[in-house]
Structure 1
Amino acid sequence: MFNLEIFENIFFWAIINFLILYFVYKKFFFQRVTQFIEKRSQMIQEQLDFAAKSKEEAIKMKEEYENIISKAYERANEIVESATSEAQKQAAEIIENAKLEANRIIEDALRQFEIEKKKQINELKNQFVSIALLAASRVIEKNLNTEENRKMVENIFDEAGVA
């Protein structure tokens, strides 16, 4: 049947061949592959560390920006409240000044009205006095009876434009 000696020889040489290749590869290739793998893993670790550090910095920057934005909103609200308060004060002051000015104008108008009223009354008095003097002088000139005096006074008033 089978001759085991052939297989034993092949097996022996295969092991020898394997060992020789193993030592050659170990001497020339394993060290380089190991160094390459170590460098690659070190580079990956550095990138992971850098990514983690960058993420931490980004989180810190985000928190800082959120704080800045919240402070800006607070300041903006303070400015709006201050401006609103100032506007209300100015509106109240303007209204008060307008009321005072309106009262002053009304008082001036009333004083002017009183002055004009007194002037008109004095003018009417002067006209009545003039009319009365004119009527008296005509009555004295004619010295007529009372009915004629009455008609004459009415005519004088009609001439003067007083009804």
Structure 2
Amino acid sequence: MFELKIFENIFFWAVINFLILYLIYRKFFFQKVTQFMEKRSQMIQDQLDFAAKSKEEAIRLKEEYENILAQAHAKANEILEKATLEAQRQATEIIENAKLEANRIIEDALRQFEIEKNKQINELKNQFVSIALLAASRVIEKNLNTEENRKMVENIFDEAGVA
């Protein structure tokens, strides 16, 4: 099939090529690649150190913020409590003043109502007296029987507008 000699020669030269390339790369590139890798490692380490310091600083700032926030909440609660008490006091005072004013208005209205009621009663009395006198004078004028007197009084009331 294939001759081994051809492959042996190719294999030999491939190994020689590989060794030559390895030596050339080692001479010119490995040192630069190694330096690059070391610099890269150092840069990564520096960034990790910086990140750790930043994290510690962030934790410290967060604790300070939480302390300040807790103090602010406490102060806000204190102010809110004082404002609530003051509002309750003012509300009680306003309610008491409103009750006093309402009672005064009710008393004034009741007095006014009594005065008006008495006026109306007196006016009605005067009207009934006038109607009764008118009815009596007509009854006396006609001197009619009882049934006619009754009808006449009813007519007088109708004329006066009393139902």
Which of the five TM-score ranges fits, normalised by the shorter chain? 0.5 to 0.7
User: How far 1:110 moved relative to its partner?
Assistant: 2.0
- In 2, the alpha carbon distance for the partners of 1:95 and 1:122 equals 40
- In 2, the alpha carbon distance for the partners of 1:138 and 1:74 equals 93
1:82 partner amino acid: K
- The match for 1:82 is 82
Alpha-carbon RMSD across the aligned residues, in angstroms, is: 2.9
Q: Which runs of 5+ in 2 are unaligned?
A: 1-59
- In 2, the alpha carbon distance for the partners of 1:91 and 1:66 equals 36
- The match for 1:120 is 120
- The match for 2:45 is none
Q: Which runs of 5+ in 1 are unaligned?
A: 1-58
User: How far 1:103 moved relative to its partner?
Assistant: 2.2
Whichever of the two has the greater Rg, that structure is 1
- In 2, the alpha carbon distance for the partners of 1:148 and 1:102 equals 56
- In 1, the alpha carbon distance for the partners of 2:70 and 2:159 equals 90
Instruction: Work out the percentage of aligned pairs sharing the same amino acid.
Output: 87
User: How far 1:77 moved relative to its partner?
Assistant: 3.5
Alignment of 1:52-131 (within 5 A): 74-131=74-131
TM-score w.r.t. the length of structure 1 is 0.52
Q: What's the secondary structure of 1:162's corresponding residue? A: coil
TM-score w.r.t. the length of structure 2 is 0.52
User: How far 1:119 moved relative to its partner?
Assistant: 1.3
- The match for 2:10 is none
User: How far 1:72 moved relative to its partner?
Assistant: 5.8
1:17-58 deviation digits (Å, cap 9, x = unpaired): xxxxxxxxxxxxxxxxxxxxxxxxxxxxxxxxxxxxxxxxxx
- In 2, the alpha carbon distance for the partners of 1:137 and 1:112 equals 37
Q: What's the secondary structure of 2:82's corresponding residue? A: helix
